[in-house]
Amino acid sequence: MIIISPEDYMKKIILLMCIIFILSSLSCKKKTETSIKEITTKSGIEMIFVPEGEFIMGDGSADAPLHKVKISSFYMDKYEVTQKMYKTLDLPNPSHFKGENRPAEMVAWINAAIYCNERSIEEGLTPCYDEKTWECNFEANGYRLPTEAEWEYAAKAGTSGKFFFAPDPKNLKNYAVFSKNSQGKTETAGSKKPNPWGFFDIYGNVAEWCNDFYDKDYYKNSPSRDPRGPKNGNERVIRGGSWNDSEEIVNSTARSKDPSLSDACILRDTIGFRCVRKGD
Amino acid sequence: MKKFFVFLLFPMIMLCLGAEKELDLSNIKYKIVYESYSNNNWDIYIINADGSNKKNITNTPNIHEMYPKVSPNGKKIAFVVDTGEERNRGRDLYLMNIDGSNRRLIAQHGRQPCWSPDGKYIAFTKSESTRRFSLESWSTKGLFFYNMQTGKITEHPETTLEHLYNLCWSPDGQYIIATVLGGMGFKHTNIAIEVKGSSYFELNVTGCRPEFSPRGKYIGWGPSDRQFNIAKIDLSKRPPVADKDKIPFLYVTEGYEVYHLDWSPDGKYIAFSFGPDGEQNVGGMAPGWNICVAEVATGRWKMITFDGNHNKEPDWVP
């Protein structure tokens, strides 16, 4: 007969609990990995499916207070929209730094929306943007710009804080083309490591247009489910920073804005975009 | 140089002090043509420089006519015509008599016409995308020449030219100056292109839409959408415009814009578009915009249209 002392009994219970915890964690990780999947669209563009989820948006700063946000599933471009992708659709490419595989830049917000509509038409999808009002129909199955919340959810990729990698900003050079490692211009899309969900250049290279108008106080009153930005505004949100920005901007949470919605006189060679479309 | 500086500094001081006197434009012998939008339609109007005797010279309720450029002898107008709507809109280049008669197509997909100083050619660009229409002025490909005598079109020897807009032929016939956006390695600047050669170079003026004075000694341009500058220009020098020669000529307060500067044939006046923040591109909506005339010597200016019907792109009739 084996006699177990109370001390051993406790040890075994603790061991069992540890095993259950580890298995449970592995199970969760596996679930996330299988949920994040890559697809190739009809026009040959690689996108990543981002499942519905919840995350803490913001970084606790004045214009980005921490708050919980639920996001519906969506697809997002694996890379920033390149000049080759522009050329495929026979759209005027305004980029300063020419190169088929470099991201498109000098793109006014309206022209980014036009690209989304044309890509939708090309694939037989319903365009999201009304080209008279530039209002976005989120129910349409076509392409659009990400909401600010979708962008941050994808950038954080299940992590929290400013950077999706270890908190040492020195690691940024491995993941982003930014002011400290760029040659004063953009680089080929995907030249650095991707984030945990597989998005390349989510930090740096070109800052990315979002669909939302910018309001510094928006987070204070935004809905907790699929926030879509203020109704009106003069500037749209840009995220992720560019080849010309420092780590203060090139991260998951820094909020920026730009007024170059349609005026060619103020276009910037630091701004591009990537597209999303709603999940199945 | 000192004289030139004082010549331009004076109007600036006058503007700043608000010491404007009513500008009398009634003695100007030239007329002005411009594009205007009403009843969902763009037409081309002709008007006296003092704002009197306005007349619609196209008068086509179902066709959009815009961007009028008058020939050096004052008898013809090159202009663009838009048909269709939204992404299926198309833009072509036409020619007509100054009274609106005898219109004819001269170049499909043609845009941004400008006349050679001898009136024998019309330079123009073409729409870049065949997939869908773009209102963007810079959305152009190539530089072409329409021969008025033969009706033939030839392309400039440098076939990589792209994203040019606001073409302006130098009075000596040697160059065409233009703004370029995201083309030939440029971000957004103003360049001069040899008409018969293949070289091009920067003017050293930032902003857009450069225009030669009638004798080609000066240019005017918009360093921002609220200001015009004027400078001496010498295309035989590098850079053609020296920083010290750049003089602010006219500016408006935030919330308003000035665009489409054009020198009068005698060089004494500048016509331009003015209005609240709007769309300056050809055919773009700009409610509240009107045509204005400024006196170069004094900087005084006044509106000559008041209907605010998206009035833009004035061009003097020699």
The closest CB to that of B134, out of A89, A92, A267, belongs to: A92
Q: Can you list the domains of chain A with their CATH numbers?
A: 57-278 (3.90.1580.10)
B160 contact A CB<8A: no
Distances in whole angstroms, Cα of residue B263 to Cα of each of A270, B234, B291, B299: 36, 18, 13, 13
CB B107 within 8 A of CB B153: yes
Say what the pLDDT of residue A15 is: 62
Secondary element (H or E) of residue B58: none
B207 contact A CB<8A: yes
Sign of CA dihedral B232, B236, B240, B244: negative
Say what the pLDDT of residue A33 is: 47
B128 contact A CB<8A: yes
Q: Which of 2.120.10.30, 3.30.465.10, 2.40.50.40, 3.40.50.970 would CATH assign to domain B2-317?
A: 2.120.10.30
Sheet with B247-251: list strands edge to edge. Answer: B208-212, B218-224, B227-232, B247-251
The closest CB to that of A106, out of B86, B182, B207, belongs to: B182
Distances in whole angstroms, Cα of residue A34 to Cα of each of A31, A37, A71: 5, 7, 18
For the stretch B113-163, pLDDT in tens is 999 999 999 999 999 988 999 999 999 999 999 999 999 999 999 999 999
CB A145 within 8 A of CB A210: yes
Return the residue of A nearest to B136 by Cα. A264
> Cβ separation of A89 and B208 shorter than 8 Å?
no
Mutate to test the interface with A, among B87, B162, B277 (most CBs of A within 10 A): B87
Q: Among residues A278, A275, A268, which one has the least CA distance to residue A108?
A: A268
Q: Among residues B206, B283, B212, B279, which one has the least CA distance to residue B246?
A: B206
> Cβ separation of A267 and B139 shorter than 8 Å?
no
Say what the pLDDT of residue B133 is: 94
Q: Nearest CA to CA, how far is A132 from chain B (Å)?
A: 9
Question: Three-class SS string for chain A?
Answer: CCCCCHHHHHHHHHHHHHHHHHHHHHHHHHHHHHHCEEEECCCCCEEEEECCEEEEECCCECCECCEEEEECCEEEECCCCEHHHHHHCCCCCCCCCCCCCCECCCCCHHHHHHHHHHHHHHCCCCCCECCCCCCECCCCCCCECCCHHHHHHHHHCCCCCCCCCCCCHHHHHHHCECCCCCCCCCCCCCCCCCCCCCCCCCCECCEEEEEEECCCCHHHHCCCECCCCCCCCCCEEEECCCCCCCCCCCCCCCEEEECCCCCHHHCCCCEECCCEEECC
Angle at A27 between CA A21 and CA A29, to 5 degrees: 105
Q: What is the pLDDT along chain B (318 residues), one digit of tens a residue?
A: 444 444 444 444 444 444 456 899 999 999 999 999 999 999 999 999 999 999 999 999 999 999 999 999 999 999 999 999 889 999 999 999 999 999 999 999 999 999 999 999 999 999 998 899 999 999 999 999 999 999 999 999 999 999 999 999 999 999 999 999 999 999 999 999 999 999 999 999 999 999 999 999 999 999 999 999 999 999 999 999 999 999 999 999 999 999 999 999 999 999 999 999 999 999 999 999 999 999 999 999 999 999 999 999 999 999
Residues of A with CB under 8 A from a CB of B: 89-96, 98, 106, 111, 114, 118, 131, 262-265, 267, 269
Q: Among residues A124, A128, A112, A116, which one has the least CA distance to residue A42?
A: A124
Cα separation, B60 vs B56, in Å, equals: 9
A94's CB contacts (< 8 A; 6+ apart) are A104, A105, A106, A107, A111, A267, B136, B138, B163, B181, B182
> Cβ separation of A106 and B128 shorter than 8 Å?
no
Say what the pLDDT of residue B24 is: 96
Chain A residues in contact with B87 by the CB 8 A cut-off are: 131
Return the residue of A nearest to B132 by Cα. A91
The closest CB to that of B208, out of A94, A118, A265, belongs to: A265
> Cβ separation of B138 and A94 shorter than 8 Å?
yes
Q: Are strands A67-71 and A271-272 parallel, antiparallel or unpaired?
A: unpaired
Compute, in degrees rounded to 10, the torsion defined by CA atoms A18, A19, A25, A26.
150
CB pairs under 8 A between A and B: 54
Which residues between 13 and 52 in chain B have a beta carbon less than 8 angstroms from any beta carbon of chain A? none
Say what the pLDDT of residue B70 is: 98
The closest CB to that of B182, out of A90, A91, A95, belongs to: A95
Chain A residues in contact with B131 by the CB 8 A cut-off are: 89-91, 118
Chain A residues in contact with B163 by the CB 8 A cut-off are: 92, 94
> Cβ separation of B163 and A94 shorter than 8 Å?
yes
Say what the pLDDT of residue A14 is: 60
B86 contact A CB<8A: yes
**Domain ranges, ordered by start, for chain B:** 2-317
Mean pLDDT by 10 residues, chain A (280 residues): 58 57 42 74 96 96 96 98 96 95 96 97 97 96 98 97 87 97 98 98 98 97 97 96 97 94 83 96
Chain A residues in contact with B278 by the CB 8 A cut-off are: none
Say what the pLDDT of residue A9 is: 59
Q: Nearest CA to CA, how far is A260 from chain B (Å)?
A: 13
Secondary element (H or E) of residue B14: helix B2-17
Instruction: Look up residue B242 and give its DSSP letter.
Output: -
Q: Residue type at B31? A: K
Sign of CA dihedral B278, B287, B285, A208: positive
Q: Residue type at A12? A: K
Cα separation, B1 vs A30, in Å, equals: 76
B166 contact A CB<8A: no
CB B66 within 8 A of CB B90: no
Mutate to test the interface with A, among B125, B188, B208, B221 (most CBs of A within 10 A): B188
